[in-house]
């Protein structure tokens, strides 16, 4: 099953090598796409993490991504993407993302992470992993502006899993094709540092930034507010 970021675009020309095991980005006056192959991954979860929670418990939550490059904080939009918010928070609270790397960086576009294969797998497999569970599309009207957090998916719109991306520049060509579920409230300077790192083939950083842990906490007053339109 191939993960894809493909939609109509009016974007600067940028290209990355294509392949079946690594996401591919192609952009020109009419097209932007990214592909990878998803595989099943298993992970340990504590009994507490498995407890069912009501959707109200996902409101006004913030994820602190502690990385080797610094901290990135993300607020969520459960009113427009409840299942994607739940999926990310549940995975984070189980420790799923701990040790994963931002395996793909494209200056002027985005940084991508969330693949469990990046913890210890062959770098050639990076970009092909998932959680073993998919989330149905929740495309919404929020535009992919700088700082927006969205989910990678396969050509099937209902195939998002664990991989996510943070756009470092306005990317409206992705709008209504990928599910926006959050926004960076702190740490875009860290995202800029990550995206500017030296890289090799398939947009893979030479020394990838690692997510050491994710802390889910209640949002502070200045982290709350209406969902962007």
Q: Is the predicted pLDDT of residue 4 greater than 70, yes or no?
A: no
Res. 54 pLDDT band, cuts 50 70 90: confident
Phi first, then psi: what are they for 26, rounded to 5°? -130, 130
More confident residue, 4 or 201: 201
Residue 200, H or E segment: none
What average pLDDT does the chain have? Answer: 82
Res. 229 pLDDT band, cuts 50 70 90: confident
34 touches 23 (CB < 8 A): yes
Q: Lowest mean pLDDT: which of 48-57, 101-110, 143-152, 187-196?
A: 48-57
- Alpha-carbon gap, residue 152 to 112, rounded angstroms: 8
Domains assigned to the chain:
60-223 (2.40.100.10)
Q: What is the pLDDT of residue 121?
A: 78
Residue 47, H or E segment: helix 47-50
Q: Which residues pair with 211 in a beta bridge?
A: 67
Residue 49, H or E segment: helix 47-50
pLDDT tens, position by position, 155-214 = 889 999 999 999 999 999 999 999 999 999 999 999 999 999 999 999 999 999 999 999
151 touches 140 (CB < 8 A): no
Q: Is the predicted pLDDT of residue 105 greater than 70, yes or no?
A: yes
Q: Is the predicted pLDDT of residue 102 greater than 70, yes or no?
A: yes
More confident residue, 15 or 223: 223
- Range with top average pLDDT, 22-31, 53-62, 106-115: 106-115
Provide the token pair at 98.
């701990």
59 touches 212 (CB < 8 A): no
More confident residue, 12 or 133: 133
Average pLDDT over residues 16-25: 30
Q: What is the pLDDT of residue 43?
A: 41
Q: What is the pLDDT of residue 84?
A: 98
Res. 52 pLDDT band, cuts 50 70 90: low
Average pLDDT over residues 83-106: 98
């Amino acid at each position: 099953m191939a993960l894809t970021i493909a939609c109509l675009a009016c974007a600067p020309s940028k290209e990355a090598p294509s392949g079946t095991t690594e996401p591919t980005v192609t952009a020109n006056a009419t097209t932007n796409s990214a592909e990878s192959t998803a595989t099943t991954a298993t992970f340990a979860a504590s009994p507490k993490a498995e407890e069912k929670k009501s959707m109200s418990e996902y409101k006004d939550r913030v994820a602190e991504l502690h990385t080797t490059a610094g901290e990135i904080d993300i607020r969520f939009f459960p009113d427009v993407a409840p299942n994607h918010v739940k999926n990310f928070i549940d995975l984070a609270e189980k420790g799923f993302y701990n040790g994963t790397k931002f395996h793909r960086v494209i200056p002027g576009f985005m940084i991508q992470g969330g693949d469990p294969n990046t913890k210890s797998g062959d770098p050639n497999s990076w970009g092909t992993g998932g959680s073993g569970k998919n989330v149905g599309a929740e495309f919404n009207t929020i535009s992919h502006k700088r700082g927006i957090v969205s989910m990678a998916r396969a050509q099937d719109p209902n195939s998002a899993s664990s991989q996510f991306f943070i756009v470092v520049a306005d990317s409206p060509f992705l709008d209504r094709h990928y599910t926006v579920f959050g926004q960076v409230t702190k740490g875009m300077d860290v995202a800029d540092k990550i995206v500017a790192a030296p890289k090799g083939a398939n947009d893979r950083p030479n020394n990838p930034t690692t997510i050491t842990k994710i802390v889910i906490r209640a949002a502070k007053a200045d982290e709350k507010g209406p969902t962007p339109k």
